[in-house]
Amino acid sequence: MKKGIVFILSAALLLSGSLLSAQTEKTTSDEELMGWFRDARFGMFIHFGASTSEDFLEEGLNKTERYEKSVKNFNPVDFDAKEWVRIAKNAGMKYIVFTTKHHDGFCKWDSKLTDWDVMDATPFKRDIVGELAEACKEENIELGFYYSIADWHHPEYDATYSNRQGFHFNPNPEADITKYMDYMYGQIKELCENYQPKLFWFDGSAGFRNPNKKRLLGQQEMVDLLNSYGAISNSRLGDDDTLEYVNYLSMGDNMTPSGNIGADFESAQTMNDNWHFKKGDDNWKSAKTMLGKLIDIAGNGGNYLLNVGPNSKGIIPKESQSRLKIMGEWLQKNGEAIYGTTAGPYPYEFTWGSITQRIEENQTTLYLNVIDWPKEGVFKVYGLNNSIEKASLLASGDELSHESEFNPDAGANVISIKVPKSAPDPYVSVIALTIKGEAKMDQTFLQQQDGSVVLDAFRSTIHDEEFVPNKPQRPLDQRIFTVMKKGKGIMPTRGMSVGLDKEGQALRWDFRMLKSGKYKVAVVSSVKEEHPWKADGKMRVTVAGESIENKLIEQERYNNERMATEMKCSVAVLGTIEINTVGMNTLTLEVTSGFTDATPNIISVQLLPIEK
């Protein structure tokens, strides 16, 4: 290891405090730190390092030998930082997050604290981070750094703190984790001073989830240190989902929330199945799918961090480039609906797309980002109570006629907008509504334009089999998004679903119907792709004076677009029900016979209209 300044943890923590007070003029407000992030909405994640090498796939080597050989031969001869930045900028991305150090500990900058870096351990001998920082500065693209807390290479990283079941290249029984923390603080300070990043994307802290171990991360001290340099931190610095210390929430990998969660957040997602480049991974998402994710995430007030994995030569694959080009062309015409907007006024999901909004003085512009374009030529907005000053297609500026009518039976306003029968855009068409004042929209679950009702389990009201003191009644209010915690009664589970398995447990929703009729009652659960469905208990749905009770017999399984590719939606239809009255209704889902084989993780209950 290079001879350099030796830090001790206490000194590092004191240093961060002194730096904070010395540099307060740089970080005087939350808006100064977070303003650019909230405006950006779209960024590029770049996973690039030892595992992109062909040597990493060599047979006959164990995992340690693969990493060692891959770093030794790391030589991305076609790497061009300006080309990476050009691709990001043309895609409409406003910032880049680069993997400075992944779990393997290999550093892509000239670190004075280790020889396990691109300048000393490889034939490439170029400061990748430095070149990328310069290219971003030239193009006015903000730069952030992914930094793994876990380090499988450092001799002082105790393997018991590993994020992969104790994995370490060369476990050291005498390892002192506090010495590694000194090293980590030193590297963070080095990156801040040399490259002036605006964001740190921490990862790999799973080994610190025990509260006694988590203290070693020094969450408050680390965030103070970063903020003093004008950088923000994500929540994977110790799984801080409640944002007690950090600046914003990182969702789970490939996770998209199904509504406004009331926090600054970012969804980091892949274009295919892998983060780093992997030859043969051809499971590419379409540009339309990724644009759908962009408008969905922005509509809920978050940022979309879309990953690319350059190959061993340093080239971003053509499959990534072609999709990013389409997204950039869409944003050139419709970027007003994304950049600098806030979450839409309706807190839940729409089946047709999303709403973003821009509030300026005495008026608001609502952007209706429509994927499912109405074939009959009329687009309807339910529950919006403002008067509309103007409606138009954002891309062309063509004005649209509209009318507003109050439905007294349903107790909701209905706005009808006359639109072309063919969608103006093949991916997402945007309708801009200018309204007086701030948007006033119904905050209950509303029936959708297609007649369906989607009741999100994460936003239900919990009824436990027995009272649990001090436990929030809604799963959302427990502020658990990425790391599940144990607790009594009904608890959130992976992927913002809710575990429900004991007799006497129930969920409840209030919702507003605008159309009466017959509906299928579907319970949608989360399941891994390879897992068979073995739900042996029974559930009952009660709504509008009728009840249906049945086993959760899987009838359909499809991709869960809000989670990683291995997660699926399992659909069980309990039966049909007739709702004869419109207006406010209450639906309950209760366990009537306990589940012994597996706990159903409920995503939603859906009322699906049966065509007459």
The token pair that represents 235 in the structure block = 């929540």
The residue to which tokens 């990748």 are assigned: 128
Q: What is the pLDDT of residue 51?
A: 82
What is 342-443's CATH number? 2.60.40.1180
Q: What is the pLDDT of residue 530?
A: 85
Q: What is the pLDDT of residue 55?
A: 64
Distance CA 97, CA 202 (A): 11
Residue 239: C-alpha distances to residues 156, 214, 249, 471, 483 (Å): 22, 9, 9, 20, 7
Distance CA 58, CA 66 (A): 7
Distance CA 598, CA 589 (A): 17
Domain positions in the chain are: 9-333, 342-443, 453-609
Residues 6+ apart with CB under 8 A from 124: 74, 75, 76, 77, 79, 118
Distance CA 69, CA 391 (A): 60
Q: What is the pLDDT of residue 220?
A: 97
Q: Are 115 and 349 in contact (CB under 8 A)?
A: no
User: How does DSSP assign 284-318, residue by residue?
Assistant: PPPHHHHHHHHHHHHHTTEEEEEEE---TTSPPPH
Stated as kind and residue range, the H or E segment containing 35 is helix 30-40
Please give, one letter per residue, the 3-state secondary structure of 206-219. Answer: HHHCCHHHHHHHCH
Per this entry, what is the length of the chain?
A: 612
Q: 3-state class of 342 per DSSP?
A: strand
Q: What is the pLDDT of residue 166?
A: 82
The residue to which tokens 């009952």 are assigned: 540
Residues 6+ apart with CB under 8 A from 588: 463, 506, 507, 508, 541, 542, 543
Q: Architecture of 9-333 per CATH?
A: Alpha-Beta Barrel (3.20)
Fold equal for 9-333 and 453-609:
no
User: How does DSSP assign 549-611, residue by residue?
Assistant: EEE----EEEE-TTS-TTEEEEEEEEEEEEE---EEEEEEEEEEE--SS---EEEEEEEEEPP
Buried (b) or exposed (e) across 159-198, using 16+ Cβ within 10 A? bebbbeeeebbeeeeebebebbbbbbbbbbbbbbebbebb
Phi, psi (degrees; rounded to nearest 5) at 101: -150, 115
Alpha-helix runs per DSSP H in 158-286? 177-195, 211-214, 219-228
**567 C-beta neighbours (distance < 10 Å), count:** 21
Residue 390: C-alpha distances to residues 337, 365, 430, 438 (Å): 16, 9, 14, 15
Q: Are 201 and 234 in contact (CB under 8 A)?
A: yes
The alpha carbon dihedral of 544, 546, 549, 553 has a sign of negative
Average pLDDT per 10 consecutive residues for the chain, totaling 612 residues: 42 44 49 96 96 72 86 95 98 98 97 97 97 98 98 96 90 96 98 98 95 95 97 97 97 95 97 94 96 98 98 96 98 98 97 96 95 95 96 98 96 97 97 96 96 97 92 94 89 92 95 96 93 87 95 92 89 95 96 90 97 71
Distance CA 85, CA 93 (A): 9
R_g over Cα of the chain: 26
Q: What is the pLDDT of residue 612?
A: 61
Phi, psi (degrees; rounded to nearest 5) at 556: -160, 145
CA-wise closest residue to 482 among 213, 296, 266, 290: 266
The domain 453-609 having CATH identifier 2.60.120.260: the answer here is yes
DSSP 107: B
> How many helices (DSSP H) and strands (DSSP E) are in the chain?
10, 29
Residue 163: C-alpha distances to residues 99, 204, 237, 248 (Å): 17, 6, 13, 22
Q: What one-letter code names the amino acid at 482?
A: T
Q: 3-state class of 612 per DSSP?
A: coil
Q: What angle do CA 277, 280, 284 make, to 5 degrees?
A: 75
